[in-house]
Amino acid sequence: MNLQDFLDYLNSGRTIVAGSEIHQYMCMLSQEALRLTAELNNSYRTPEEIREIFSRLTGKPVDDTFNIFPPFYTDCGKNITMGKHVFFNGGCRFQDQGGIYIDDDVLIGHNVVLATLNHCMVPERRADLEPAPIHIGKHVWIGANAMVLPGVTIGDGAVIAAGAVVTKDVPENTVVGGVPAKIIKKVPESKHEGRDGGKYQFFLFNKSTCTPLE
């Protein structure tokens, strides 16, 4: 088995049977992720060094506009896909085996959990795992200590309130909060155009110079 075979299997949504070849490969990748996140978290890193480590963690190039305040935790890393101008605040925990897809201009707050695996509900098969992806649209803001569960899609421009537990899809341009998260209100219309001609504009800052990233 190779990485592409593993990702193809996970992205098909098929069950990961405990003790199977797929499960063993997943455990092997988790050890690599533990090593790389320890390298990321255990001493000061420049933004450039962080992006280099994150590229190794995800197995793909990371855009120069990506920024993160460590620590960051994941038990896989290889099924994270990100756009441009993405920011993670400290303490985020991603379980990405089922796939985490993050579009442009996304802000993710302290201690956010993104989980893409469920255990089987049949007691005799409880150790089996069921993957389902998380999709995060453009210009989304996820507040501190929120949790997003497997299979959720968050629409463009949405805001997830701090501490929310998101169990189902979030419509675009809405604010959701609570446990489980429910729609609180619509996002106000913006008079400003974003980088892509849209309605929203977020400014991400280089943590070493405190200047906006272009």
- Peptide bond preceding 71 in cis form (omega within 30 of 0): yes
Q: Which amino acid is at 100?
A: I
Residues 80-103, buried b or exposed e (16+ Cβ, 10 A)?
bebbbbbbbbebbebbbbbbbbbb
Q: Considering 119, 135, 139, 192, which one is annotated as catalytic?
A: 119
Nearest of 192, 193, 146 to residue 170 by alpha carbon: 146
Strand order in the sheet with 113-115: 72-74, 92-95, 113-115, 147-148, 165-166
CB 139 within 8 A of CB 106: yes
**Is 119 marked active-site?**
yes
Q: Residue 12, Cα to own-chain centre: how many angstroms?
A: 19
CA distances from 22 to 30, 86, 100, 166, 203 (A): 12, 30, 19, 28, 40
Q: What is the dihedral of CA 139, 156, 181, 122, to 10 degrees?
A: -110
Residues annotated as catalytic are 119
